Amino acid sequence: MMVATELAVAIVLGTAFGLGVCLLLARLPRIGATSLSRRVAPYVRDVVDPRGVVVEGTGPGWDSAMLGRRAAEVLGRAVGSSETIERRLRQAGRPIDVTAFRARQLGWTLAGFGIGAAGAVALVLLGRASAASVLLPVVGGVAAFLLCDHLLSRAASARLARIGEELPTVLEFLALCLSAGEGILDSLRRVSAVGAGELTGEVRVAVVEVGTGSSLSEALAGMSRRIALPAVSRSIDQIVAAIDRGAPLADVLHAQASDAREDAKRALLESAGRKEIAMLVPLVFLILPLSVLFAVFPGILMLRLGVG
């Protein structure tokens, strides 16, 4: 036990010493300053990629940003494909790429590992350590990794739900603008100007793409790929087909809005069915046993006392 306590104290002191040394080194101008290649990169476009990040081999031997990117790429190859992460990032509206998310996930994992290690050291110092305490850092790291991924999935699901709720209103407004004599592009501009929702933001991005040279069909197809929601994709496919064939867009949009409202109604009924089943859990496992207990206990007590 004394050996474990001395080891825990050594870990605490070593960690504090290491953090102090890192803080001192970070304050040094030579190490804490931005590297020369990253300062010159925005002015030398032929050696950087379109995002302004220095290409491999053009920077110094050690670069913290490059090291973080390498670690994020290794983590991405170890835990799975990046297509799913990229799709969820687009659906959640996050302005980062897969590499940045992997770097954030790696940071969460290291933080969870550090918290678990601190908890294990604290248990050793308090004299309550056991063999399972060794697993605390691993459990903390895995839990932080899964929590970061779960938060992204939850944000994507919540944003898709908001887009699904806004879809019928946006389609009805587009149909109203078209019935008033405006073109489809002018109608989209009006929706993007007066709206304030998630779907309106995506429409605004599509309008900007059209203004920068893309065709309307390509911009709408890009919006469909970013959102990847079946109702939105179906509506956009119908709109693009109507534009290509010269069909009346107002009627198409009215039909799509009606279908979107039916889908929303069906989803609401399904959600109500799931909630109804979930409400049976406290009824069966909490309220019903208590009711039986209050009904039977007085009779059992009277029988034990021999009354009646």
Task: Indicate if the pLDDT at residue 257 is higher than 50.
Answer: yes
Q: Which CATH number fits domain 164-264: 2.40.50, 1.20.81, 2.60.120, 1.10.3470?
A: 1.20.81
Interacting residues of 30 by C-beta distance below 8 A, sequence separation 6+: none
Percent of the chain with pLDDT over 90: 12
Arithmetic mean of pLDDT, 10-15: 74
Confidence check: pLDDT of 39 > 80: no
Model confidence band, residue 272 (pLDDT cutoffs 50, 70, 90): confident
Q: What is the pLDDT of residue 152?
A: 92
The per-residue pLDDT for 54 is: 43
SS3 of the chain: the string is CHHHHHHHHHHHHHHHHHHHHHHHHHHCHHHHCCCHHHHHHHHCHHHECCCCCECCCCCCCCCHHHHHHHHHHHHHHHHCCCHHHHHHHHHHCCCCCHHHHHHHHHHHHHHHHHHHHHHHHHHHHHCCCCHHHHHHHHHHHHHHHHHHHHHHHHHHHHHHHHHHHHHHHHHHHHHHHHHCCCCHHHHHHHHHHHCCCHHHHHHHHHHHHHHCCCCHHHHHHHHHHHHCCHHHHHHHHHHHHHHHHCCCHHHHHHHHHHHHHHHHHHHHHHHHHHHHHHHHHHHHHHHHHHHHHHHHHHHHHHHHHCCC
Q: Is the pTM above the cut of 0.95? A: no
243, pLDDT greater than 90: no
Confidence at residue 72, expressed as pLDDT on a 0 to 100 scale: 54
